[in-house]
Amino acid sequence: MKDAPHVLDRDRRLLLETRRDIASTDLLVQQCPLVAFHAALRFTRDRLGEARVQFLDALADFARESDETADARRDVQTAAEDAADVWRWLVGKLRDRLLNPPPGARLTPDEMLRRERLVDRLFPVSPSGFRGATNDQQRQWLKAAIRGLSDPLVCAPLGDLSGLKAVDRLEAALADVRAVRETLDRESGEDRSATERFEHARAHLDDAVKLHGMQVEATLRAWGRLDALGDFLYARDPAYRVRQMTGKGLTLEPGMADIDAEVRLALAG
> Which has more confidence, 247 or 228?
228
Residue-level pLDDT at 82: 95
Whole-angstrom distance, CA of residue 73 vs CA of residue 80:
11
CB–CB of 6/65 below 8 Å?
no
Instruction: State mean pLDDT over 28-35.
Output: 97
Q: How confident is the model at residue 39 (pLDDT cuts 50, 70, 90)?
A: very high
Instruction: State mean pLDDT over 8-36.
Output: 96
Whole-angstrom distance, CA of residue 148 vs CA of residue 141:
11
Return the percentage of the chain with pLDDT > 70, whole number: 98
Q: What is the pLDDT of residues 147-186, one digit of tens each?
A: 998 888 877 777 777 778 989 999 999 999 999 999 999 9
At position 103, the amino acid (one-letter code) is P
Q: What is the pLDDT of residues 67-76, one digit of tens each?
A: 999 999 999 9
Mean pLDDT over the full length of the chain: 91
